[in-house]
């Protein structure tokens, strides 16, 4: 069972994601009401990037910075913050994934904590904790950059 979890983590890490696959510009004649973007979190699925009052989906925010193509087609400031978001999200989620892998390795090595604790278990536990904690500031930076990217993107419609 633990080996399956470890394989799932590795498979998830191997999934490629492109932040600039298809940049789509805002339609001609946009107003704030019709074209401003917002991020709406979801309970189980990834947050969505929605356009306008009607909430047309223009992207799903991927774990490694994907789904922001529309922001990459916006003004220069929005593009700069979007790139910062992608970098920070990739770093945060990679660190968190390594931390989770260390924890799964700890479970496998210690057979669900049924064996006696040894130095390898300690090292895996500390490694998992350290990578998990190291991911936090990058996650915060990613959220901050995404918020600023959306603000700068929407500023073009405020005129």
> Residue 104: what are its φ and ψ, rounded to 5°?
-65, -40
| The 56-60 sheet, strands edge to edge | 37-40, 48-51, 56-60
Query: Quick one: pLDDT at residue 25?
Result: 65
CA 136 to chain centroid:
12
Lowest mean pLDDT among 6-20, 50-64, 97-111: 6-20
Residue 14 has pLDDT above 70, yes or no: no
Query: Quick one: pLDDT at residue 19?
Result: 38
Strands 37-40 and 48-51: antiparallel
Considering only CA atoms, which of 132, 134, 152 is closest in space to residue 144?
152
Q: Comparing 157 with 3, which gets the higher pLDDT? A: 157
CA separation for the pair 47, 2 (Å, rounded)? 29
Q: Among residues of the chain, what percentage have pLDDT more than 90?
A: 61
Mean pLDDT score, 83-89: 97
pTM of the model: 0.79
Residue 115 has pLDDT above 90, yes or no: no
Using 50, 70 and 90 to split pLDDT, how confident is the model at 1? Answer: very low
Residue 8 has pLDDT above 50, yes or no: no
């Amino acid at each position: 069972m633990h080996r399956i979890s470890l394989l799932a983590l590795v498979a998830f890490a191997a999934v490629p994601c492109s932040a600039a696959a298809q940049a789509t510009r805002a339609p001609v004649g946009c107003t704030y009401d019709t074209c401003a973007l917002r991020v709406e979190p979801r309970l189980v699925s990834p947050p969505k990037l929605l356009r306008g009052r009607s909430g047309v989906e223009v992207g799903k925010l991927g774990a490694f910075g994907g789904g922001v193509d529309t922001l990459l087609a916006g003004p220069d400031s929005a593009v700069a913050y979007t790139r910062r978001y992608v970098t920070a999200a990739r770093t945060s989620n990679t660190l968190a994934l390594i931390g989770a892998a260390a924890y799964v390795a700890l479970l496998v090595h210690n057979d669900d904590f049924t064996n006696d604790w040894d130095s390898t278990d300690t090292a895996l536990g500390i490694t998992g904790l350290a990578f998990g904690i190291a991911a936090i500031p990058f996650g915060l930076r990613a959220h901050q950059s995404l918020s600023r990217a959306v603000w700068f993107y929407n500023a073009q419609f405020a005129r």
